[in-house]
Amino acid sequence: MKILVCIKQVPDMESKFKVDAAGTWYDNADLAWRMNEYDEYAVEQAVQLKEQAGEGDITVLSIGPDKVKEAMKKALAMGCDRGVHVSDDAVSSKEPYQIASIIAAFAGDKGFDVIFTGLQSQDRGSGQVGVLVGELLGLPSVTTVVDFNMEGDSVTAKRELEGGIRAVVKVATPALFTCQLGLNTPRYPTLPNIMKAKKKELLTIPVADLLDVDPRQQTAALFFPEKKGGGLVLEGEVGDLADQLVQILKEKTTVLS
């Protein structure tokens, strides 16, 4: 079984973000980087699938500057077998269709049985790349997966819907799955596996070899919304205050329902 996992390196979301000079993306300086959270679920699911099947070969793919190899090393230490680094210093200026085209151009003739991606990236958050890769390869995509079970060449996946509803989807492989929080708990790479990861194959392909589509959209501006005015001050007796607060929590939040 051949498995592909697509991952992205993103800034730690606790970082202090600044808009860059061009005003269309965030400033990369002084940020700490890590693997996109949803992609960690994707890697973990790929490794679990291989462990359950008792066989398989997992390729982890990432697009970006040399630095993204850090995230790839983690994926390799978690159990992926080989890495494909699509070298691109200008990855942040590419829109989702271009990213998906790059991945599809690589995966097209490789015969992957299962492709895992994150549901979305924590920085761009378009949620498009996985599904577009599926379309470009002519594969069925199952999104927002929170449970994954494969028997033979048939996958039963649970999808998370709004309002606490879940859907069960059956699909035949080859197929693509976008992974959501709750699918699994990503393992910590062990120290021996971190050391072994450096011996695994990590192939670098220049992005120009794989990209041959023009952008279909462009980010015109990136900005911080203006801060909203002060909070709401409730007044009255304690009992009334509590009632008002409960009402607000019910109406405006999901804390109470």
Partner 1 sequence: MKFELSEEQSLIRDTVREFAESEIGPSAAQRDEEERFDRALMFDSLAELGLTGIVFPEEYGGAGADYLSYAIAVEELSRVCASTGVTLSAHLSLCANPIYLFGSESQKQQYLTALAAGEKMGAFGLTEPSAGSDAGSTKTTAVKNGDGWLLNGSKIFITNGGEAETYVVLARTDKDAKKHHGISAFIIDKGTEGFTFGKKEQKLGIRSSPTMEIIFENCLIPAENLLGEEGEGFKVAMKTLDGGRIGIASQAVGIAQGALEQAINYAKERKQFDKPIAAFQGISFQLADMATQIEASRLMVYNAAYRASAGLSYSQASAMAKLMASETAMKVTTQAVQILGGYGYSREYPVERMMRDAKITEIYEGTSEIQRLVIGAALTR
Q: To 10 degrees, the CA torsion angle through 195, 196, 197, 202?
A: 130
**Least Å from the CB of residue 157 to partner 1:** 27
**Least Å from the CB of residue 34 to partner 1:** 7
**Least Å from the CB of residue 79 to partner 1:** 14
**Least Å from the CB of residue 194 to partner 1:** 5
Cα separation, 159 vs 157, whole angstroms: 6
Given candidates 195, 241, 242, 246, which one binds partner 1 under the rule CB under 8 A?
195
Q: Is 77 in the site for partner 1 (CB under 8 A)?
A: yes
Q: Is 17 in the site for partner 1 (CB under 8 A)?
A: no
| Residues 47, 77 contacting (CB under 8 angstroms) | no
DSSP designation for 43: H
Q: Is 192 in the site for partner 1 (CB under 8 A)?
A: yes
Q: What are 54's two structure tokens?
A: 């008792």
Of 118 and 189, CB closest to partner 1: 189
Q: Which of 173, 71, 155, 168 is nearest to 114 (CA)?
A: 173
Cα separation, 222 vs 224, whole angstroms: 7
Given candidates 4, 11, 60, 69, which one binds partner 1 under the rule CB under 8 A?
69
Give contact residues for partner 1 (rule: CB under 8 A). 34, 69-70, 73-74, 77, 188-195, 197-198
